[in-house]
């Protein structure tokens, strides 16, 4: 194994803990630097890792010990941090979405430089989505013709003490949760050619239910219920719903329907879960054991996938998914079907890979 791959983390909020569980003890990775608007928080994390230093963002992206910048900032800052990293010759892997707007994301991807741009969600590389894809690719449901994806909740103000950014530009149920489902549909059925959308905003304000700001009302600046139809290049049609305006649903997170069978696909917000298969004439769904994907993976596996020589969580996929989401909202506003200008190539299927295997496979 070569020298550990140096990573600098920008943004040390709640989600950073999950990334550190995956990356912090990996033998092929070294947490070299941290940066956060809260300097004390950056310093506290840095103290956990030998040789790690708490720096400013400018210092971190210029630091020669940092080969890849892990961008865990809020969506409004994604493009600025990614651009700074790329301009400094670094790789950058960021939380979703790639940027708060499609224009900003295009600008990030157009920047010259030797670095790679990757983006969450990497949950799609776990055994749940990858097993479902293995079944689709193997023809277990025949030619895919349709899919349905559903995610609904009453809204994040019910549990999050500072939910403001979920209701500003770059937030909403579509941009917050949509990337998990739309990236999964991309892996399962390939790129999208055109979309048709509809959306609504039933409430102008939301009331925070917990934490020090409980009872405070915050403005809603984005639509909170979005539905749409995606026409995939390969001919399948997907129907999607994302909402902050529903109590719950009994629907499977994703269903994929083919000419000779259907799949029930687990929650793409997680890495694992039970895939179930049903064919015409079957009296019940049949569970399918894991056939592909990183076993027991956690957030950050997409970055390890890159360090190990693959680019399955590529920025081109994130750009395409962001255009799908942007086009759904534009279609809803304009009342017409919208053709997409971006595309991406489905990456190779992840072979069934145990934690021991994916830990050994990654070197600096």
Domain with CATH 3.30.360.10 in the chain: 123-292+313-339
- CATH class of residue range 123-292+313-339: alpha beta
Mean pLDDT of the chain: 96
Q: Report the candidate in 273, 280, 346 with the shortest Cα–Cα distance to residue 316.
A: 346
* Confidence category of residue 1, pLDDT binned at 50, 70, 90: low
User: Which pLDDT score, from 0 to 100, does residue 145 have?
Assistant: 98
State pLDDT tens for residues 4-40.
999 999 999 999 999 999 999 999 999 999 999 999 9
State pLDDT tens for residues 176-225.
899 999 999 999 999 999 999 999 999 999 999 999 999 999 999 999 99
State pLDDT tens for residues 108-134.
999 999 999 999 999 999 999 999 999
- CATH class of residue range 5-119: alpha beta
10: left (phi over 0), alpha (psi -120 to 50) or beta: beta
Residues 172/224, Cβ–Cβ less than 8 Å = yes
User: What is the average per-residue pLDDT within 253-257?
Assistant: 98
Q: Report the candidate in 317, 279, 267, 271 with the shortest Cα–Cα distance to residue 139.
A: 279
CA 270 to chain centre: 11
Q: Report the candidate in 125, 220, 215 with the shortest Cα–Cα distance to residue 166.
A: 220
User: Which pLDDT score, from 0 to 100, does residue 170 have?
Assistant: 73
The span from the CA of 122 to the CA of 124, in Å, is 5
Residue 269 has pLDDT above 80, yes or no: yes
Q: Kindly report whether the peptide bond that precedes residue 97 is cis, defined as omega within 30 degrees of 0.
A: yes
Domain with CATH 3.40.50.720 in the chain: 5-119
Instruction: Give the torsion through C-alpha atoms of 17, 21, 24, 25, to 10 deg.
Output: 160
């Amino acid at each position: 194994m070569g020298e550990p791959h140096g990573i600098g983390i920008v943004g040390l909020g709640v989600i950073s803990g999950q990334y550190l569980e995956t990356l912090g003890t990996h033998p092929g990775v070294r947490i070299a630097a941290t940066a956060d608007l809260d300097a004390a928080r950056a310093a506290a994390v840095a103290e956990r890792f030998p040789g790690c230093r708490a720096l400013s963002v400018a210092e971190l992206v210029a630091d020669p010990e940092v080969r890849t910048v892990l961008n865990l900032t809020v969506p409004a800052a994604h493009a600025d941090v990614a651009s700074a990293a790329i301009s400094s010759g670094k790789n950058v892997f960021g939380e979703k979405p790639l940027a708060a707007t499609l224009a900003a994301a295009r600008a990030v991807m157009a920047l010259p430089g030797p670095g790679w741009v990757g983006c969450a969600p990497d949950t799609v590389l776990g055994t749940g989505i990858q097993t479902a894809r293995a079944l689709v690719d193997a023809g277990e449901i025949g030619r895919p013709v349709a899919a349905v994806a559903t995610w609904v909740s009453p809204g994040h103000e019910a549990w999050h003490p500072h939910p403001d950014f979920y209701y500003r530009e770059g937030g909403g149920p579509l941009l917050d949760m949509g990337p998990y489902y739309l990236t999964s549909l991309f892996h399962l059925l390939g790129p999208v050619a055109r979309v048709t959308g509809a959306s609504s905003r039933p409430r102008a304000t939301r009331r925070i239910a917990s934490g020090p700001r409980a009872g405070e009302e915050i403005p809603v600046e984005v639509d909170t219920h979005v539905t749409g139809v995606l026409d995939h290049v390969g001919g399948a049609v997907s129907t999607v719903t994302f909402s902050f305006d529903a109590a719950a649903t009994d629907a499977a997170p994703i269903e994929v329907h083919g000419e000779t069978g259907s799949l029930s696909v687990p929650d793409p917000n997680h890495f694992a879960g039970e895939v179930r298969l049903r064919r015409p004439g079957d009296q019940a769904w049949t569970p399918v054991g894991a056939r592909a994907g990183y076993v027991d993976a956690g957030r950050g596996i997409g970055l390890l996938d890159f360090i190990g020589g693959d680019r399955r969580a590529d920025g081109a996929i994130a750009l395409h998914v962001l255009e799908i989401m942007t086009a759904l909202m534009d279609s809803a506003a304009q009342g017409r079907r919208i053709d997409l200008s971006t595309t991406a190539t489905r990456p190779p299927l992840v072979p069934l890979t145990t934690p021991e295997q994916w830990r050994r496979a990654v070197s600096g």
